[in-house]
């Protein structure tokens, strides 16, 4: 039978390409493969990082973990200054539903404040580093008034509206007293919800929570003294604590988040972004995230 060198070489190359692709997939999905091959009870580390603007990705992961019988405990690794109100509340509520099915332990990184702390209150235990920045139990709304600026450059704002409050918080005019009272009422309502969540989650007296719910921040050590944190420790301490509470015998099988593979552009921009983040952190040291014309924790 006559051999076909070209065809034979093509098949070899194709086989190597497929094998290489499978290896790459295996490396990228190591945690999933480990779960299938090893089996057994596990502790899953779920990261909540950065400004909280969208609850969807976190809730999607929680839904998957809820259906996984091998996941006995979830460690929320929180490193967030807070964010928008609704997404923080949605994640909190989803965790409350999950409490009876899974052990939940919150582990604080550098910052777990405002909306980040709100989410942590749904956990069975909260563990923070002594120097973690936390607290900031409060609500804020901020906007910029540019009325004088646009007047200086010869511009004038024209508004046609269906009701007297439709252009509330307009940046082109001063806020009226009645409008300020209306917004303050909304802020107070959401602030009260925050206090209730902390008092319920931490089993604290509501009045004692209200006394410190003025936006101030605390170190992890201070937070423990106030009852806002249970223990001091790092991520590994939180994992061990979660395993004990969940009744996992021996060393727990820990599943960490799959790291996203950075693109070449990400690699080139990484240094610049770190410099910008450090500058912002140095000059705007606030525990809550402030967004123009939006209510935030």
Catalytic residue among 49, 64, 164, 166: 166
Determine phi and psi for 255, rounding to 5 degrees: -110, 115
Report the C-alpha gap between 96 and 119 in whole angstroms.
10
How many residues are there in the chain? 297
Closest among 120, 140, 136, 123 to 190, alpha carbons compared: 140
Query: What is d(CA 84, CA 297) in angstroms, rounded to the nearest whole number?
Result: 6
Tell me which of 114, 136, 219, 296 is the catalytic residue: 114
Q: How far is Cα 232 from Cα 224, in angstroms, rounded to an integer?
A: 8
Task: Identify whether 170 is a catalytic site residue.
Answer: no
Per-residue pLDDT at 142: 86
Q: Which residues partner with 55 through β-bridges?
A: none
pLDDT at 296: 72
Decide: 118 and 96 in contact? Cβ < 8 Å. no
What confidence score (pLDDT) does residue 252 get?
82
166 has catalytic annotation:
yes
DSSP H helices, 109-227, are 115-120, 147-152, 177-202, 206-212, 220-226
What is the reported pLDDT for 281? Answer: 44
Query: Which one, of 13, 19, 69, lies nearest residue 44 by Cα?
Result: 69
C-alpha–C-alpha distance, residues 261 and 97, integer Å: 32
Spatial contact of 116 and 80, defined as CB atoms under 8 Å apart: yes
Q: 3-class DSSP state for residue 232?
A: strand
pTM as predicted:
0.77
Query: Tokens 């969807």 map to which residue?
Result: 56
Per-residue pLDDT, 1: 47
3-state secondary structure of 37: helix
Structure tokens at 222: 């201070």
Calpha distance 253→34 (Å, rounded): 10
Report the pLDDT value the prediction gives residue 178, as an integer from 0 to 100. Answer: 95
Q: What is the pLDDT of residue 143?
A: 84
Which fold is adopted by the domain 39-259+271-283?
2-enoyl-CoA Hydratase; Chain A, domain 1 (3.90.226)
**What pLDDT score does 139 carry?**
94
51 burial class (0-12, 13-18, 19+ CB within 10 angstroms)?
middle
pLDDT at 105: 98
From CA 238, how far away is CA 183, in angstroms rounded?
Answer: 40
pLDDT per residue as tens, the chain (297 positions): 455 565 555 566 766 666 665 655 455 555 454 544 445 689 999 999 999 999 999 999 999 999 999 999 999 999 999 999 999 999 999 999 999 999 999 999 999 999 999 999 999 999 999 999 999 999 998 888 898 988 889 988 899 999 999 999 899 999 999 999 999 999 999 999 999 999 999 999 999 999 999 999 999 999 999 999 999 999 999 999 999 999 998 888 999 987 655 555 555 555 555 555 545 444 443 334 333 345 677
């Amino acid at each position: 039978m006559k051999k076909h060198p070209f065809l034979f070489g093509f098949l070899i190359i194709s086989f190597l390409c497929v094998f290489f692709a499978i290896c790459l997939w295996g490396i990228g999905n190591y945690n999933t493969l480990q779960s299938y091959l090893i089996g057994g009870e596990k502790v899953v580390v779920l990261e909540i990082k950065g400004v909280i603007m969208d609850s969807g990705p976190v809730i999607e992961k929680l839904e998957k973990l809820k259906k996984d019988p091998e996941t006995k405990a979830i460690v929320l690794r929180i490193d967030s200054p807070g964010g928008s109100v609704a997404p923080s509340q949605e994640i909190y509520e989803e965790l409350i539903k999950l409490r009876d099915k899974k052990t939940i332990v919150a582990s604080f990184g550098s910052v777990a404040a405002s909306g980040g702390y709100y989410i942590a209150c749904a956990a069975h235990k909260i563990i923070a580093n002594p120097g973690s920045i936390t607290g900031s139990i409060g609500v804020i709304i901020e906007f910029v008034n540019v009325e004088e600026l646009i007047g200086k450059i010869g511009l004038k704002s024209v508004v046609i509206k269906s009701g007297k409050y439709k252009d509330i918080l307009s940046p082109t005019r001063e806020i009226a007293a009645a409008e300020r009272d209306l917004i303050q009422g909304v802020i107070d309502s959401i602030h009260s919800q925050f206090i209730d969540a902390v008092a319920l989650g931490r089993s604290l007296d509501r009045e004692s929570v209200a006394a410190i719910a003025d936006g101030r921040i605390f170190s992890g050590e201070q937070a423990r003294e106030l009852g806002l944190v249970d223990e001091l420790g790092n991520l590994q301490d939180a994992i061990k604590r979660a395993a004990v509470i969940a009744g996992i015998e021996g060393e727990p099988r820990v599943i960490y988040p799959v790291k996203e593979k950075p693109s070449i552009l990400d690699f080139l921009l990484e240094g610049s972004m770190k410099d910008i983040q450090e500058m912002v952190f140095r000059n705007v040291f606030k525990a809550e995230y402030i967004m123009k014309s939006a209510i935030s924790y």
